[in-house]
Amino acid sequence: MAIKTVVWGENVHEHTNEVVARMYPNGMHNAIADALNEDARIAATTATLQESEHGLSEARLADTDVLIWWGHCAHGDVQDEIVDRIQRRVLEGMGLIVLHSGHFSKIFKRMLGTTCSLKWREAGERERLWVVNPGHPIALGLGEYIELEHEEMYGEPFSVPNPDEVVFISAFEGGEVFRSGLTYKRGNGNIFYFRPGHETYPTYYNEDVRQVLRNATVWAKHHGKFWIEEDGPNVPPEKAPNPVTVKGEGLHKPGEKGFK
Protein backbone atom coordinates (compact mmCIF):
# COMPACT_ATOMS: atom_id res chain seq x y z
CA MET A 1 0.00 0.00 0.00
CA ALA A 2 1.31 3.41 -0.91
CA ILE A 3 2.84 5.63 1.77
CA LYS A 4 0.21 8.22 2.72
CA THR A 5 2.09 11.49 2.60
CA VAL A 6 0.88 15.01 3.30
CA VAL A 7 2.91 17.93 1.96
CA TRP A 8 2.19 20.96 4.11
CA GLY A 9 2.85 24.35 2.54
CA GLU A 10 2.69 27.72 4.20
CA ASN A 11 1.42 29.04 0.88
CA VAL A 12 1.96 32.75 1.56
CA HIS A 13 4.79 34.01 -0.63
CA GLU A 14 3.23 32.31 -3.63
CA HIS A 15 0.45 34.91 -3.31
CA THR A 16 2.35 37.97 -2.08
CA ASN A 17 5.68 37.84 -3.88
CA GLU A 18 5.81 38.12 -7.64
CA VAL A 19 9.04 36.11 -8.01
CA VAL A 20 7.68 33.19 -6.01
CA ALA A 21 4.32 33.31 -7.79
CA ARG A 22 6.12 32.99 -11.11
CA MET A 23 8.45 30.21 -9.88
CA TYR A 24 5.74 28.08 -8.23
CA PRO A 25 2.44 29.02 -9.91
CA ASN A 26 0.63 26.08 -8.25
CA GLY A 27 2.31 26.59 -4.90
CA MET A 28 5.46 24.97 -3.58
CA HIS A 29 3.46 22.24 -1.86
CA ASN A 30 2.10 21.07 -5.19
CA ALA A 31 5.55 21.09 -6.80
CA ILE A 32 6.78 18.90 -3.95
CA ALA A 33 3.76 16.59 -4.03
CA ASP A 34 4.24 16.16 -7.79
CA ALA A 35 7.82 15.04 -7.17
CA LEU A 36 6.64 12.45 -4.66
CA ASN A 37 3.83 11.14 -6.84
CA GLU A 38 6.32 10.20 -9.56
CA ASP A 39 7.07 7.24 -7.26
CA ALA A 40 4.35 4.58 -7.21
CA ARG A 41 5.21 3.70 -3.60
CA ILE A 42 4.03 7.14 -2.44
CA ALA A 43 0.55 8.73 -2.42
CA ALA A 44 1.01 12.44 -1.70
CA THR A 45 -1.63 15.06 -1.06
CA THR A 46 -1.29 18.63 0.21
CA ALA A 47 -2.41 20.81 3.11
CA THR A 48 -1.91 24.53 3.71
CA LEU A 49 -1.88 27.09 6.48
CA GLN A 50 -5.07 28.68 5.23
CA GLU A 51 -7.25 25.57 5.47
CA SER A 52 -9.35 24.78 8.52
CA GLU A 53 -7.04 23.33 11.20
CA HIS A 54 -4.29 24.09 8.65
CA GLY A 55 -5.55 21.02 6.79
CA LEU A 56 -4.30 18.78 9.57
CA SER A 57 -7.32 17.45 11.42
CA GLU A 58 -6.92 14.64 13.96
CA ALA A 59 -8.50 12.26 11.48
CA ARG A 60 -6.20 13.21 8.65
CA LEU A 61 -3.03 12.96 10.72
CA ALA A 62 -4.18 9.61 12.06
CA ASP A 63 -4.26 8.43 8.46
CA THR A 64 -0.88 9.95 7.48
CA ASP A 65 2.39 8.01 7.33
CA VAL A 66 4.71 10.91 6.54
CA LEU A 67 4.29 14.68 6.88
CA ILE A 68 6.47 17.09 4.89
CA TRP A 69 6.75 20.65 6.15
CA TRP A 70 7.61 23.83 4.27
CA GLY A 71 7.11 27.17 6.05
CA HIS A 72 8.96 30.48 6.23
CA CYS A 73 7.31 33.82 6.96
CA ALA A 74 4.29 32.61 8.93
CA HIS A 75 5.68 30.18 11.51
CA GLY A 76 3.96 32.24 14.20
CA ASP A 77 0.53 31.75 12.58
CA VAL A 78 0.55 28.01 13.07
CA GLN A 79 -1.74 27.26 16.01
CA ASP A 80 -0.10 25.71 19.05
CA GLU A 81 -2.89 23.16 19.29
CA ILE A 82 -2.04 21.85 15.83
CA VAL A 83 1.66 21.73 16.72
CA ASP A 84 0.79 19.66 19.82
CA ARG A 85 -1.19 17.32 17.62
CA ILE A 86 1.62 16.88 15.08
CA GLN A 87 4.17 16.29 17.83
CA ARG A 88 1.98 13.59 19.38
CA ARG A 89 1.54 11.89 16.02
CA VAL A 90 5.29 12.00 15.24
CA LEU A 91 6.04 10.42 18.62
CA GLU A 92 3.50 7.72 17.75
CA GLY A 93 5.32 6.92 14.54
CA MET A 94 4.45 9.37 11.75
CA GLY A 95 7.53 10.38 9.76
CA LEU A 96 8.39 14.10 9.58
CA ILE A 97 10.45 15.78 6.87
CA VAL A 98 11.27 19.42 7.50
CA LEU A 99 12.47 21.49 4.58
CA HIS A 100 14.70 24.57 4.39
CA SER A 101 13.28 27.54 6.34
CA GLY A 102 11.20 25.05 8.32
CA HIS A 103 14.23 24.93 10.64
CA PHE A 104 12.51 27.77 12.51
CA SER A 105 9.05 26.17 12.44
CA LYS A 106 7.30 25.52 15.75
CA ILE A 107 7.16 21.78 15.15
CA PHE A 108 10.88 21.43 14.41
CA LYS A 109 11.93 23.45 17.48
CA ARG A 110 9.40 21.51 19.55
CA MET A 111 10.78 18.13 18.52
CA LEU A 112 14.43 19.08 19.01
CA GLY A 113 14.37 21.40 22.03
CA THR A 114 17.01 23.82 20.69
CA THR A 115 16.94 27.18 18.88
CA CYS A 116 17.61 25.65 15.43
CA SER A 117 19.30 28.93 14.47
CA LEU A 118 21.85 29.32 11.66
CA LYS A 119 23.49 32.01 9.49
CA TRP A 120 22.01 32.97 6.12
CA ARG A 121 22.59 35.01 2.97
CA GLU A 122 20.30 35.42 0.00
CA ALA A 123 22.64 35.85 -2.95
CA GLY A 124 21.65 33.11 -5.37
CA GLU A 125 25.02 31.46 -4.94
CA ARG A 126 26.05 27.95 -5.93
CA GLU A 127 25.49 25.17 -3.38
CA ARG A 128 27.01 21.73 -3.51
CA LEU A 129 25.53 19.13 -1.16
CA TRP A 130 28.19 16.49 -0.63
CA VAL A 131 26.91 12.99 0.08
CA VAL A 132 28.74 12.06 3.28
CA ASN A 133 26.82 8.81 3.75
CA PRO A 134 26.62 7.24 0.27
CA GLY A 135 25.02 4.00 1.45
CA HIS A 136 22.16 5.74 3.26
CA PRO A 137 18.72 4.99 1.79
CA ILE A 138 18.13 8.75 1.48
CA ALA A 139 21.14 9.02 -0.87
CA LEU A 140 20.03 6.30 -3.31
CA GLY A 141 20.64 7.22 -6.92
CA LEU A 142 22.77 10.30 -6.28
CA GLY A 143 26.33 11.00 -7.37
CA GLU A 144 29.11 12.42 -5.20
CA TYR A 145 27.23 15.67 -4.70
CA ILE A 146 24.13 17.56 -5.71
CA GLU A 147 24.87 20.88 -7.37
CA LEU A 148 22.36 23.72 -7.27
CA GLU A 149 23.19 26.80 -9.31
CA HIS A 150 21.27 29.24 -7.15
CA GLU A 151 20.42 28.83 -3.53
CA GLU A 152 20.17 30.77 -0.31
CA MET A 153 23.20 30.19 1.93
CA TYR A 154 22.73 28.59 5.35
CA GLY A 155 25.87 28.53 7.47
CA GLU A 156 27.00 26.77 10.62
CA PRO A 157 26.65 26.76 13.57
CA PHE A 158 23.31 25.00 13.09
CA SER A 159 21.97 24.92 16.65
CA VAL A 160 20.45 21.45 16.77
CA PRO A 161 21.16 18.37 18.92
CA ASN A 162 23.77 15.99 17.55
CA PRO A 163 21.91 14.08 14.84
CA ASP A 164 21.68 10.31 14.54
CA GLU A 165 23.18 10.54 11.06
CA VAL A 166 24.51 13.20 8.71
CA VAL A 167 23.62 12.48 5.08
CA PHE A 168 24.66 15.73 3.35
CA ILE A 169 27.06 18.59 4.06
CA SER A 170 26.81 21.68 1.86
CA ALA A 171 29.58 23.95 0.62
CA PHE A 172 28.49 27.36 -0.61
CA GLU A 173 30.16 29.62 -3.15
CA GLY A 174 30.71 32.22 -0.45
CA GLY A 175 32.74 29.74 1.62
CA GLU A 176 30.32 28.62 4.34
CA VAL A 177 29.43 25.01 5.15
CA PHE A 178 26.26 23.45 6.57
CA ARG A 179 24.98 20.04 7.68
CA SER A 180 22.21 19.81 5.07
CA GLY A 181 20.68 16.40 5.64
CA LEU A 182 20.16 15.21 9.22
CA THR A 183 18.21 12.33 10.73
CA TYR A 184 16.69 12.04 14.20
CA LYS A 185 14.40 9.58 15.93
CA ARG A 186 11.97 10.95 18.50
CA GLY A 187 9.57 8.44 19.97
CA ASN A 188 8.84 6.20 16.98
CA GLY A 189 9.01 9.05 14.51
CA ASN A 190 11.76 9.23 11.94
CA ILE A 191 12.67 12.88 11.33
CA PHE A 192 14.70 14.20 8.40
CA TYR A 193 15.81 17.78 7.90
CA PHE A 194 16.75 18.73 4.32
CA ARG A 195 18.24 22.15 3.74
CA PRO A 196 17.59 23.33 0.16
CA GLY A 197 14.42 24.96 -1.06
CA HIS A 198 14.45 28.76 -1.04
CA GLU A 199 11.23 29.94 -2.63
CA THR A 200 12.74 32.28 -5.21
CA TYR A 201 14.87 29.57 -6.84
CA PRO A 202 13.75 26.51 -8.86
CA THR A 203 15.16 24.04 -6.33
CA TYR A 204 12.12 21.78 -6.18
CA TYR A 205 12.34 21.21 -9.94
CA ASN A 206 15.88 19.82 -9.60
CA GLU A 207 15.89 16.09 -10.29
CA ASP A 208 18.34 15.21 -7.51
CA VAL A 209 16.36 17.18 -4.97
CA ARG A 210 13.16 15.42 -6.06
CA GLN A 211 14.94 12.10 -5.71
CA VAL A 212 15.98 12.95 -2.15
CA LEU A 213 12.39 13.89 -1.29
CA ARG A 214 11.16 10.52 -2.53
CA ASN A 215 13.95 8.59 -0.83
CA ALA A 216 13.36 10.42 2.44
CA THR A 217 9.63 9.71 2.35
CA VAL A 218 10.23 5.99 1.93
CA TRP A 219 12.88 6.09 4.66
CA ALA A 220 10.66 8.03 7.10
CA LYS A 221 7.79 5.53 7.09
CA HIS A 222 7.61 3.72 10.44
CA HIS A 223 7.66 -0.09 10.32
CA GLY A 224 6.91 -0.86 13.97
CA LYS A 225 3.80 -0.47 16.08
CA PHE A 226 2.37 3.05 16.27
CA TRP A 227 2.56 3.73 19.97
CA ILE A 228 2.55 6.65 22.41
CA GLU A 229 2.12 6.96 26.15
CA GLU A 230 1.63 10.38 27.69
CA ASP A 231 -0.13 9.86 30.96
CA GLY A 232 2.16 7.89 33.21
CA PRO A 233 0.07 4.74 33.82
CA ASN A 234 -0.10 3.30 37.33
CA VAL A 235 0.80 -0.36 37.96
CA PRO A 236 -0.96 -1.36 41.19
CA PRO A 237 0.88 -3.69 43.61
CA GLU A 238 -1.31 -6.65 42.73
CA LYS A 239 -0.36 -6.32 39.06
CA ALA A 240 3.42 -6.26 39.63
CA PRO A 241 5.31 -9.19 38.05
CA ASN A 242 6.65 -10.04 41.50
CA PRO A 243 4.31 -9.94 44.52
CA VAL A 244 4.58 -6.57 46.30
CA THR A 245 3.22 -5.57 49.68
CA VAL A 246 2.85 -1.84 50.22
CA LYS A 247 5.39 -0.55 52.74
CA GLY A 248 6.00 2.87 54.21
CA GLU A 249 3.69 5.84 53.81
CA GLY A 250 2.48 7.28 50.55
CA LEU A 251 0.82 10.18 48.79
CA HIS A 252 -1.65 8.45 46.56
CA LYS A 253 -4.82 6.57 47.35
CA PRO A 254 -5.26 3.24 45.53
CA GLY A 255 -6.42 3.84 41.94
CA GLU A 256 -5.61 7.56 42.01
CA LYS A 257 -4.07 9.06 38.89
CA GLY A 258 -0.53 10.44 39.03
CA PHE A 259 0.31 14.15 38.83
CA LYS A 260 1.14 15.53 35.44
Cα distance between residue 99 and residue 83, in whole Å: 16
- Measured from the CB atom, the residue of 81 and 249 that comes closer to a second copy is 249
Which region, judged by CB under 8 A, interacts with a second copy, from 32-40, 58-66, 135-143, 205-213? 135-143
Binding to a second copy (CB under 8 A) within 60-79 occurs at 72-73, 75
Q: Give DSSP secondary structure letters for 184-208.
A: EEETTEEEEEE----TTS-GGG-HH
By the rule CB under 8 A, 106 interacts with a second copy: no
Contact string 84-103 vs a second copy (x = CB under 8 A): ---x---xxx-------x--
Pick from 21, 43, 133, 208 the residue near a second copy by CB under 8 A.
133
Binding to a second copy (CB under 8 A) within 24-53 occurs at none
User: Contact, 198 vs 170, CB < 8 A?
Assistant: no
Q: Is 128 helix (H, G, I), strand (E, B) or coil?
A: strand
Binding to a second copy (CB under 8 A) within 177-206 occurs at 177, 179, 184-188, 198-201
* Dihedrals phi, psi of 171, to nearest 5 degrees: -120, 130
Q: How far is the CB of 144 from a second copy (least distance, A)?
A: 9
By the rule CB under 8 A, 252 interacts with a second copy: yes
* Dihedrals phi, psi of 97, to nearest 5 degrees: -115, 120
By the rule CB under 8 A, 19 interacts with a second copy: yes
Helices (H), 38-99: 58-62, 80-92
